[in-house]
Amino acid sequence: MMHEADIIASGLRVMRMEGEALAEASSRLGASFARAVQVIAAASGRVIVAGVGKSGLIGRKIAATMTSTGTPAMFLHPTESVHGDLGIVSVQDVAILLSKSGETDELLPLLEQLKRLGVKTIAISGDGQSTLSRNADVWLDASVREEACPHDLAPTTSTTVALALGDALAVALLEVKGFGREDFARLHPGGALGKKLLLTVADVMLTENLPTLPATATMYDAVVQLADRRGIAVVIDSQSTLLGVITTGDFMRLMERTRDVFTVPVDTVMTTTPKTTRPDELGSAVVYRMQQSGIISMPVVDAQSRLVGVVHLHDLMRAGAA
């Protein structure tokens, strides 16, 4: 039975070997990678991803990543493809074929049929002289010196490199296409990521019974608002233009230096350049700014600095903005 130190050493060896393999693969990344991205970006159809065994599992993940980042893709099992599933492929598609050796028996018939259909092909393989690599339109070098498996048999470093190449393609395509946060949220409406990316201040802010005060008010009036409206009072003029903000912290600091706090005019205590937000700002961005500034409430203003609402940190977090 292995001792704890030996187990840890084994894990570290695998991670080190895979890290080195990725570093070597990145040093080889060049014109062929750019060509692969250009071929996919120029295609009007989908990306068809195929592989067998462990390469097939990596292929499924690559297809899923591309689809979620704006490049429609699907996995096609090589064996099933030559038994009817090839019907889903059109000449507008691009195919990514994964094979460590480049000589996978089940994959080569699919390559032949894709070439017959005129489909552009990209090979991710560890052998540039293999049948797959030589006959593909683009070859991406996924070669590794050895597998992390002590017998150099189980696909480990090779599948890690293939997966990283697939991720690199997906992200490069995302950038080429200008795929943004809103696009990502649109494709993930049911998940936490989509909810976080889509949520704006307007979805959460309070718009009724706002804690407002005129500039002529006193701190007595402010204390009533602070107690009733969650620790914030907003000073505005007759046009609802924001003049300043008073918080519970401002009141406590005033009490430390003034005995008769209730008669003090609010315009001598308020912060005249408070942190503010707009209704269309992303909730996640506002949460970050609030946490950085150590505040829990923020006025919401329009383009003319008129007060339109108040947003609270706890409401944003409860709605899933953090």
pLDDT at 43 over 90: yes
Residue 185 placed within a domain: no
pLDDT at 288 over 90: no
Measured in degrees and rounded to the nearest 5, phi and psi for residue 201 equal -60, -40
Residue 231 is predicted with a pLDDT of 86
Token pair belonging to 279: 């209704």
pLDDT at 268 over 70: yes
What is the end-to-end Cα distance of the chain in Å, rounded?
45
Which of 157, 61, 33, 158 shows the shortest CA–CA distance to 102?
158
- From 87-96, 162-171, 224-233, the region with the lowest mean pLDDT: 224-233
Mapped onto helix, strand or coil, the DSSP state of residue 140 is strand
User: What residues make up the domain containing 307?
Assistant: 201-318
pTM: 0.62
Residues 14 and 155 in one domain: yes
Rounded Cα gap, residues 148 and 21, in angstroms: 10
**Total tally of structural domains belonging to the chain:** 2
Residues 16 and 148 in one domain: yes
Residues 111 and 54 in one domain: yes
Residues 76 and 120 in one domain: yes
Last residue of a domain, one of 122, 144, 179: 179
DSSP state of 322: -
Residue 55 is predicted with a pLDDT of 94
Residues 85 and 140 in one domain: yes
Residue 188 is predicted with a pLDDT of 52
pLDDT at 205 over 70: yes
Rounded Cα gap, residues 118 and 27, in angstroms: 32
Residues 169 and 81 in one domain: yes
Q: What is the CATH number of the domain that holds 106?
A: 3.40.50.10490
pLDDT at 52 over 60: yes
Which of 66, 289, 302 shows the shortest CA–CA distance to 163?
66
Q: What angle do CA 292, 179, 32 make, to 5 degrees?
A: 120
Residues 116 and 146 in one domain: yes
Last residue of a domain, one of 122, 148, 179: 179
Residue 25 placed within a domain: yes
Q: What is the mean pLDDT of residues 99-118?
A: 92
Residues 175 and 28 in one domain: yes
Residue 301 placed within a domain: yes
Residues 139 and 256 in one domain: no
Residues 114 and 54 in one domain: yes
Token pair belonging to 64: 């899923």
Other CB atoms within 10 A of residue 296 CB? 19
Residues 223 and 295 in one domain: yes
Map tokens 């709605």 to a residue: 319
Q: Tens digits of per-residue pLDDT, 181-194?
A: 665 555 555 555 55
Q: What is the mean pLDDT of residues 273-287?
A: 91
Residue 317 is predicted with a pLDDT of 82
Residue 186 is predicted with a pLDDT of 57
Residues 112 and 236 in one domain: no
pLDDT at 12 over 90: yes
Residue 93 placed within a domain: yes
pLDDT at 217 over 60: yes
Q: How confident is the model at residue 230 (pLDDT cuts 50, 70, 90)?
A: confident
Residue 1 is predicted with a pLDDT of 78
Q: How confident is the model at residue 98 (pLDDT cuts 50, 70, 90)?
A: very high
pLDDT at 86 over 80: no
Q: Residue 174 half-sphere exposure, CB side, CA atoms within 13 Å?
A: 16
Residue 302 placed within a domain: yes
Residue 213 placed within a domain: yes
Q: What is the CATH number of the domain that holds 307?
A: 3.10.580.10
Last residue of a domain, one of 179, 212, 238: 179
Q: Tens digits of per-residue pLDDT, 14-42?
A: 999 999 999 999 999 999 999 999 999 99
Range among 8-12, 32-36, 68-72, 149-153 with highest mean pLDDT value = 32-36
Residue 192 placed within a domain: no
Residue 185 is predicted with a pLDDT of 56
Q: What angle do CA 283, 286, 289 make, to 5 degrees?
A: 155
Q: Measuring CA to CA, how many Å separate 202 from each of 212, 263, 279, 308?
A: 19, 35, 4, 10
Residue 234 placed within a domain: yes
